[in-house]
């Protein structure tokens, strides 16, 4: 039993703890987080880095009256342990258990849900505005990482917050990382601020200002000297960028020094107007494997605590196959460049970066910029490949439509994590991409049934004269051969992989193998199925679909995407447009709801897109025929 942690039932229990007791509590929290994530998987390194910071926040502020808003929310495990969810913590990221992120439906201590980056300052400013309009006096705190600070949304919010001058505290959790190491000018600026913590830097600043203040001269010279002093301050005073935006800048402060953090936070809460507190933390702190490899432990599957190792996969992941294939193609075509939005490691592009360092660009947590940047590269004659998780690419929809598609630019979208992603839940399921891409005129939209087909589709996308997207799932595939020639597919042509006369099952991407399993199941009930690997969601293989409608008349579509606007909707539109009104059509996909977190196969079962659900739909479709035969 943890001596201190198991006595914490709400943040108020921290108020009378001594500094020594708080340090011991921090140790117990780290032990609990490591033990739990070793079993459930999760965002280990980000959470280990904010233990002391979270303790200090809850020691000083009074949640849930005071509003504490976590950016992304993937660093909220300590927050959950302190806010009445300790006993539920072993259910983290499990079906019907605790979310891995903040959730308004889970606790009154989570005033704003999250999952995507750069949202906290905008939301916090909304809370502060509402407070002032109501005339109440609660504190509003936003905790944002330096990785999320690279996102444009964060700067849009900083711009308005500085102008409005409302009481608001923004805590910058600076650990030099997002998922991959941070890049860009903002990261460089923060690095300079971190350097300003050095005693020599502080002495230099003090000496420079002291000299300026002591120089005796007339009024005119003093006025000129004031201008010089302001210029020097730009160089020697940390945080001047934030000061110029209208914030009081505090820091940098050691984010693991509890007494110092508590002292600074108590002072910050007394200041008027917007305040930015810059804290420096270590991602993965307290667990050596996570300290040495924070990218690996940013989000990790269950692992062995003794060495940090996860089980070896039997097959390479789709992300790894994508990256290897892209490297092969880039050897032959110097126009190919790769773009990532703060996810080189997660998308597999670290391999591309090693082989082609001058042709790989990590643009930070800036999905919209990444797409328009790619559009510029394409307009200049290159062949950009943008590798972004499906859930994050949603943030760049206007850029896909306006900057790429309207100009018919040959940008390739490698849409990673398409479909259900399991324990990360609703904020991360990539189940909307087929729908939002289907709306884009003239785009080629593909979904591979296995890793080998992913390779062919990447070739097909790069051979296109306009935009193309390849959407593939998380994790490993079925272990298909990777030795086939890298040749493009015939655009818009599906593949019939099994023939039968009773029902046609049209399967998208990774739903092909469950569809084949379902066909084998119903064959035992004397139902013979045609199974089609659709390959292309846009353009559809219209001749094949019309032929199956005419010859079979019963069609089941199955996709790991929302039913609204997805592949099945496209088939329904086609049948309607062709006047094929006597065709029986059943569409299987994600229902009109946000899917929670849990084991991926359990979620597929709940959503009715596993092999059993496909088989059941097929049997029900044929039930009238079977009943007629019985008579």
The helix/strand/coil state of 329 is: helix
What positions carry a catalytic annotation? 283, 367, 395
Dihedral of CA 217/219/220/224: which sign? positive
* Integer Cα distance of 525 and 61 in angstroms: 64
Q: Output the CA torsion 605→611→616→621 (10° steps).
A: 120
Closest CA relative to residue 321, chosen from 480, 445, 430: 480
Closest CA relative to residue 51, chosen from 261, 191, 250: 261
Q: List C-alpha distances in Å: 195 to 53, 188, 297, 387, 456.
A: 20, 11, 26, 33, 48
* Integer Cα distance of 98 and 93 in angstroms: 6
The helix/strand/coil state of 290 is: helix
Kindly report the backbone phi and psi dihedral angles of residue 422, in degrees, each rounded to the nearest multiple of 5, phi listed first: 90, -125
Q: Are 435 and 562 a contacting pair, CB within 8 Å?
A: yes
Q: Is the peptide bond before 345 cis (omega within 30 degrees of 0)?
A: no
Dihedral of CA 293/299/301/304: which sign? positive
* Integer Cα distance of 171 and 158 in angstroms: 12
- The beta-strand segments (E) located in 40-180 are 67-70, 140-145, 168-174
- Chain Cα centroid distance, residue 236: 36
Q: List C-alpha distances in Å: 312 to 241, 303, 317, 361.
A: 46, 10, 11, 29
Q: Are 152 and 260 a contacting pair, CB within 8 Å?
A: no
Tell me the Cα Rg of the chain. 28
Instruction: Provide the token pair at 67.
Output: 């509003």
Q: 444-446 and 536-538: which strand pairing?
A: antiparallel
Q: What are the residues whose beta carbons fall under 8 Å from the beta carbon of 171, sequence distance 6 or more?
A: 53, 57, 141, 142, 143, 144, 276, 277, 279
Residues in the chain: 631
């Amino acid at each position: 039993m943890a001596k201190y942690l198991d006595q914490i039932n709400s943040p108020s229990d921290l108020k009378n703890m001594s500094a020594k007791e708080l340090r011991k509590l921090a140790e117990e929290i780290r032990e609990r987080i490591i033990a739990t994530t070793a079993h459930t998987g999760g965002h280990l390194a980000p959470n280990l880095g904010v233990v002391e910071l979270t303790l200090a926040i809850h020691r000083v502020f009074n949640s849930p009256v005071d509003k504490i808003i976590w950016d992304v929310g993937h660093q909220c495990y300590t927050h959950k342990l302190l806010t009445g969810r300790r006993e539920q913590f072993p259910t983290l990221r499990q079906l019907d258990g605790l979310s891995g992120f903040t959730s308004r439906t889970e606790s009154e201590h989570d005033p704003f849900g999250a999952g995507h980056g750069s949202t906290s300052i905008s939301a916090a400013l909304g809370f502060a505005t509402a407070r002032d309009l109501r005339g109440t006096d609660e504190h509003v705190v936003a905790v944002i990482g330096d990785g999320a600070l690279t996102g444009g949304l964060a700067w849009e919010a900083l711009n308005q917050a500085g102008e409005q001058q409302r009481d608001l505290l923004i805590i910058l959790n600076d650990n030099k990382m997002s998922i991959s190491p941070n890049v860009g000018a903002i990261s460089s600026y923060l690095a300079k601020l971190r350097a300003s913590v050095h005693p020599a830097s502080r002495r230099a600043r003090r000496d420079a200002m002291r000299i300026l203040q002591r120089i005796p001269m007339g009024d005119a010279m003093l006025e000129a000297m004031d201008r010089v002093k302001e210029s020097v301050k730009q160089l020697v005073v940390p945080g001047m960028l934030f000061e110029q935006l209208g914030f009081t800048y505090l820091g940098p402060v050691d984010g693991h020094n509890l007494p110092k953090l508590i002292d600074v936070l108590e002072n910050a809460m007394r200041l008027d107007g917007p305040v930015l507190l810059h804290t420096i933390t270590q991602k993965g702190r307290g667990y050596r494997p996570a300290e040495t490899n924070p990218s690996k432990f940013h989000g990790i599957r269950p692992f062995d605590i003794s060495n940090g190792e996860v089980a070896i996969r039997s097959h390479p992941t789709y992300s790894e196959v994508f990256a290897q294939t892209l490297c092969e193609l880039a050897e032959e075509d110097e126009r190919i460049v790769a773009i990532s939005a703060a996810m080189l490691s997660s998308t597999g592009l670290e391999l591309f970066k090693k082989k082609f360092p001058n042709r790989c660009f990590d643009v930070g947590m800036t999905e919209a910029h990444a797409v328009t940047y790619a559009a510029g590269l394409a307009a200049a004659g290159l062949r950009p490949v943008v590798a972004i998780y499906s859930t994050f690419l949603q943030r760049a929809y206007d850029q896909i439509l306006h900057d790429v598609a309207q100009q018919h630019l040959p940008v390739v979208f490698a849409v990673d994590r398409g479909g259900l992603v399991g324990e990360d839940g609703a904020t991360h399921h990539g189940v909307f991409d087929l729908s939002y891409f289907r709306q884009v005129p003239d785009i080629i939209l593909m979904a591979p049934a296995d890793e080998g087909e992913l390779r062919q589709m990447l070739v097909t996308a790069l051979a296109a004269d306009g935009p193309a997207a390849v959407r593939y799932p998380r994790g490993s595939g079925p272990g298909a051969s990777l030795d086939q020639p890298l040749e493009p597919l015939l655009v818009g042509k599906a593949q019939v992989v099994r023939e039968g006369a009773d029902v046609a099952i049209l399967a998208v991407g990774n739903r092909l193998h469950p569809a084949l399993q379902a066909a084998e199941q119903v064959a035992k009930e004397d139902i013979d199925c045609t199974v089609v690997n659709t390959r292309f969601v846009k353009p559809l293989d219209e001749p094949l679909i019309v032929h199956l409608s005419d010859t079979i008349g019963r069609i089941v579509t199955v996709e790991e995407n929302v039913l609204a606007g997805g592949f099945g909707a496209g088939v329904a539109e086609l049948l309607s447009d062709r006047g094929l009104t006597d065709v029986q059509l059943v569409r299987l996909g994600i229902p009109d709801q946000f899917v929670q977190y849990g084991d991926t196969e359990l979620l597929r079962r709940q959503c009715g897109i596993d092999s059993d659900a496909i088989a059941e739909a097929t049997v029900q479709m044929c039930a009238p025929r079977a009943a007629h035969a019985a008579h």
